[in-house]
A and B are shown apart, each in its own frame.
Chain A
């Protein structure tokens, strides 16, 4: 039996700890916002945060996360609220089919945590796939969110 935290709540798992976190979240925790795209860590649709840093959950066995904190798209913002990155995604009308966007947002939040004022190359280094081709709007949304987050940080 292992214990870890998902979106602030402690959970226990008695089953197979070789199960990737992705399938735990989707099949056992009813958190379907995290998506399956490739299963080999290439596309990033399954991106979540582990102790605050982005990881691809399709390759991450539960055995590796005992005692750690997982945040999914559902837990990114307090209930009924939105993270600045989510707001920016709405403002820029980023999604088309929308399937990759939870992963894109988790990757963008991680980028802005590491680089509050990301250079073009930092944004270009994001490798999450979008089959619809929303990349230009993702870039705009990241810059918009960065501006908002920096001005908030300056206020506080």
Chain B
């Protein structure tokens, strides 16, 4: 399915949530089709669909099939449909704000309702369907930029209809009228509320062309700090998440999945499980064939179906299962490290090679090299995976917490053969995403179990299931090399990455393209250094991998931003000055990966300088204190972190101050952006400090939050978020707050105690290094 991120670019989001960006050929564009009707109680109803290709004949579905995109009731109440999945990124608030702004609505009278997945038949598209409400995914920080292109027009068209109705009622030219907060204003001071005009407006005729949008100076809702729309329901326990949904007569399902990568079922005995009161049946759920693409569920499993969750869990505990490890039974974290070292000693796939790296290195006056290690990590959204599904002969119902509901519909079709128009996909609030729910493997399981059992199913994963069966953030070793010339300037740069590509067991990815998920060739410092080489080495691993919030940016920004610091220290240069030199003069450059087509170095310079200035970069600090910086461009957004840390003699450390400066274009909801940056920063710190998924014997070692220790209140710093005012089109906000948090922290730690962390997580490396330093000092002759 495709959607437009920028007018002249098209982003493809595949079923696993991966994004690729392609220029759209001339002549293709998008035209909005807005459909108008009346409600039974005399209100105005706007829905729409949006063909991808202009010039296509509109195939309006019957009005009765319309989801409510915008409804204005006779009493002035306004309901706005929220199309994107709400995973905590705030789009259920921010997207309706765009509609409400152009409608000139009274935000206090707006109620937001989650739309279901909306698809319409489209015979000539490869999938046979098209979006009914526009794109409905949460991935790649695209919801806001997509909505900026199309949702404002919905509000503008509705306002136009209201104005026409008011002009008719007052017999006045429409150009004489103004609106404010759900009121039409007559020049003589009279007013008419939108509710009073809704019935007449619903009998009007849409203009048939795009309406001119507001000048930004007139914005009353866009840019105003706005609280999250579901907050009252959340704090009273009324908000419905996937795990709270149910289907009539549903059996509770839990699955014991094979813990070994590509392992198989040897044998099982369910006789004890079936004796548990409430257990109804036990089924075998086949998994994907070893090494084959994963297009549905992740692993083979034994399903226990029961009357309630507790019976199902007890039944699962009573199963006796013998699993057979697969081809990866010898895989371990240590073996993967050794594999990386071996690979990096050879030569890999050169994916960018500017100038002459070898010649520049040969001519260097100084060389710097370092290897950074990025561990596998898990998404672990706090709401574990779950799904309700009911497969019948000619229809399927699904309710689940998803990031890609369109993918859930496609998988259900693939597994059942039921027409996609007969697959009903309901979206709930989602208890965290972080990329985990771009995959619909848990939806596939629920669909398969319902199909196998013939019953409606309520599937629950436990935390152990979730931590041991994930699409983990890829592991890798980043070998960085730089050469400095006689002027102490960086003359050559190499980034050699051995990683287990995120593109793993996917259909239609060629081996020569696996690197594309791992290195983004136009990232900093490309273009600024003439002799630049990016080289990739494929690590073989049975671990399933996927998109983890800001995907490869978290790994690459750590390696690159740590290395710039190391170069600065090696060359005796100021880390801020060197960063600014490498970013180069302010200007727009081509950026062909997601977040492009333009990378504006001036905007990156600005957030870096802002963060540095705010933390007081360059000031003298007491011993044991240090400042660290990092800046990065992620998916159209520019972010920089500046941190001040204090390190005690025993190696314990504290973040004393944490600044996050961000430029994501025009801020839609500053309160939401602040939350995303604060949360992204804390996610970045939490992951950098303590999180790693390790492997032993071809399976994941960690089982729950007792051995995968997320950061808690005591370690969460306050985060000062600085939002750069901007007139540029908005980018999303979900991911840019993460990549620079880890390197800013480790750079600050180095500044404080001269210990360089090159392997994440930080764990006890600081205390170990300080205690080794003390031991070395004590063994020196003459020490006391």
Contacts and interface: CB of A to CB of B under 8 A. Distances in A.
Interface string B460-472: 1011100000000
Contacts of B432: 97, 99, 131-132
A126 interface: yes
Main secondary structure of the interface of B (DSSP, over half): loop
B242 to A, nearest CB: 10
A135 B384 contact: no
Nearest to B88: A97
Given A26-B309, A133-B678, A135-B713, A97 B232 contact: no
Contacts of B719: 136
A46 to B, nearest CB: 11
Interface in A3-31: 15-16, 19-20, 23, 26-28, 31
A98 B230 contact: yes
B712 interface: yes
Interface in B700-714: 704-706, 710-714
Contacts of B676: 96
B712 A72 contact: no
A90 B229 CA distance: 10
Nearest to B233: A98
A152 B705 CA distance: 38
Contacts of A26: 244, 309
A121 to B, nearest CB: 9
A40 B467 CA distance: 14
B383 A133 contact: no
Contact of B235 (A27, A95, A97, A128): A95
B216 interface: no
B683 interface: yes
Contacts of A138: 713
Nearest to A127: B712
A43 B705 contact: yes
Contacts of B240: 32
B382 A127 contact: no
B310 A23 contact: yes
B718 interface: yes
Main secondary structure of the interface of A (DSSP, over half): loop
A128 to B, nearest CB: 8
A149 B589 CA distance: 55
A53 B645 CA distance: 37
B463 A93 contact: no
Contacts of A98: 88, 228, 230-231, 234, 239, 429, 431
A32 B429 CA distance: 13
A56 to B, nearest CB: 12
A33 interface: yes
Contact of B682 (A16, A28, A86, A133): A133
Interface string A134-148: 111111000000000
A65 B461 CA distance: 27
A73 interface: yes
A74 interface: yes
Interface string B637-648: 000000000000
Given A16-B310, A27-B308, A98-B429, A34 B237 contact: yes
B90 A96 contact: yes
Most A Cβ at <10 Å: residue of B380, B686, B716, B718 = B716
Given A33-B236, A99-B432, A126-B713, A93 B704 contact: no
B407 to A, nearest CB: 20
B177 interface: no
A83 B311 CA distance: 35
Contacts of B309: 23, 26-27
Given A133-B679, A133-B680, A42 B252 contact: no
A64 to B, nearest CB: 15
Contact of A95 (B231, B277, B460, B462): B231
B671 A93 contact: yes
A38 B675 contact: no
A125 interface: yes
A130 interface: yes
A131 B237 contact: no
Interface in B391-426: none
Contacts of A139: 713, 718
Nearest to A74: B237
B716 A90 contact: no
A132 to B, nearest CB: 5
Interface in B223-254: 227-228, 230-232, 234-241, 243-244, 252
B238 A33 contact: yes
A2 interface: no
Given A38-B704, A40-B463, A31 B237 contact: yes
B333 interface: no
Contacts of A95: 88, 228, 230-231, 234-235
Contacts of B227: 90, 93
A155 B607 CA distance: 48
A35 B682 CA distance: 22
A125 B714 CA distance: 6
Most B Cβ at <10 Å: residue of A15, A33, A76, A125 = A33
B630 interface: no
B431 A129 contact: no
Contact of A129 (B238, B382, B433, B434): B382
Contact of B243 (A35, A39, A133): A35
Contacts of B89: 96
Contacts of A126: 712-713
Contacts of A135: 682, 712-713, 716
Given A97-B429, A100-B382, A136-B718, A129 B235 contact: no
Contacts of A123: 713
Interface in B265-314: 277-278, 308-311
A98 B683 CA distance: 16
A137 B228 CA distance: 13
Most B Cβ at <10 Å: residue of A23, A37, A100, A102 = A37
Most A Cβ at <10 Å: residue of B86, B235, B278, B434 = B235
B679 A132 contact: yes
B686 A133 contact: yes
A136 to B, nearest CB: 5
B235 A130 contact: no
Nearest to B429: A98
Interface string A36-51: 1111101101000000
Given A93-B231, A97-B88, A129 B705 contact: yes
Contacts of A15: 277
Given A74-B237, A135-B716, A139-B713, A28 B308 contact: yes
A148 B716 CA distance: 25
Given A16-B277, A27-B310, A73 B237 contact: yes
Most A Cβ at <10 Å: residue of B231, B237, B308, B380 = B237
9 tightest Cβ-Cβ pairs between the two chains A and B: A33-B237, A97-B88, A133-B682, A99-B431, A135-B716, A73-B237, A133-B679, A98-B234, A96-B88
Given A27-B310, A74-B238, A99-B241, 5 more contacts: A36-B243, A76-B236, A127-B712, A128-B712, A131-B432
Interface of A: 15-16, 19-20, 23, 26-28, 31-40, 42-43, 45, 72-74, 76-77, 82, 86, 89-90, 93-102, 105, 123-139
15 contacts: A27-B310, A34-B237, A35-B241, A36-B243, A36-B460, A39-B704, A40-B704, A43-B463, A82-B232, A89-B234, A99-B382, A127-B713, A129-B705, A132-B679, A133-B716
Interface of B: 86-90, 227-228, 230-232, 234-241, 243-244, 252, 277-278, 308-311, 380-384, 429-434, 460, 462-464, 671, 675-676, 678-683, 686, 704-706, 710-714, 716-719
